[in-house]
Amino acid sequence: MRSYRADLHVHTALSPCAETEMTPANIVGLCLEYGIDIIAVTDHNTGENVRAVAGLAEGTGVTVWPGMEVQTREEVHLVILCGSLEALDSWQDYVYAHLPPRPNRPEVLGEQLIFDRTGAVVGVCPRLLLTSLDLSVDEVRREALGRGLVCYPAHVDRPSYSYISNLGFLPPEGDFELLEVSR
């Protein structure tokens, strides 16, 4: 039986919490250097860089899963994994419809960089991505599961933006099949 090394919570330079060095080429290069077989690109409230990373990973042996990290009304982060780029596009439309129409403040949060398949910067996302949707944890979970997507709480052991830190408990058994614990 083959084993795999995976990181299912990877941010590109599109996420305000990520460094500008988190380019598609650097992400794929680090996967190769550290023997990571599978990654999920999960930028905050957007999937705009998944194609760029997946394109650069083609033929390298690194598998890229489309995903997103969403921030709920309760400021809980959930990871959403999509089975296809089309499912991600549809999910992104849903998320953008529930994201407040606030502009990013690059002087505070930095530029939110968008890359193409060659890894070149082709734009910046003008919307504020590091903010809460107008949806609850339960609403996001129900919608994701209804679409056949995977949904689980991110970094439940962290002191902020986690299920435990913001709601005070772990979700009841059966609410989520997975929980992400940070190292």
Coil/strand/helix, residue 140 = helix
Contact residues for 143 (Cβ-Cβ < 8 A; gap 6+): 94, 135
Please report the pLDDT score of residue 81 as a whole number. Answer: 98
Beta bridge partners of 66: 41
DSSP secondary structure string, 146-171? HTT-EEEES-TTSSSSSHHHHHSSPP
Tens place of pLDDT for every residue, the chain, 183 residues? 999 999 999 999 898 887 888 999 999 999 999 999 999 999 999 999 999 999 999 999 999 999 999 999 999 999 999 999 999 999 999 999 999 999 999 999 899 999 998 889 999 999 999 999 999 999 999 999 999 999 999 877 766 776 666 667 777 766 777 766 887
Q: Which fold has domain 6-167?
A: TIM Barrel (3.20.20)
Please report the pLDDT score of residue 58 as a whole number. Answer: 96
* H/E stretch holding 133: none
Residue type, 96: Y
Q: What is the pTM of this model?
A: 0.92
Please report the pLDDT score of residue 17 as a whole number. Answer: 81
Please report the pLDDT score of residue 158 as a whole number. Answer: 65
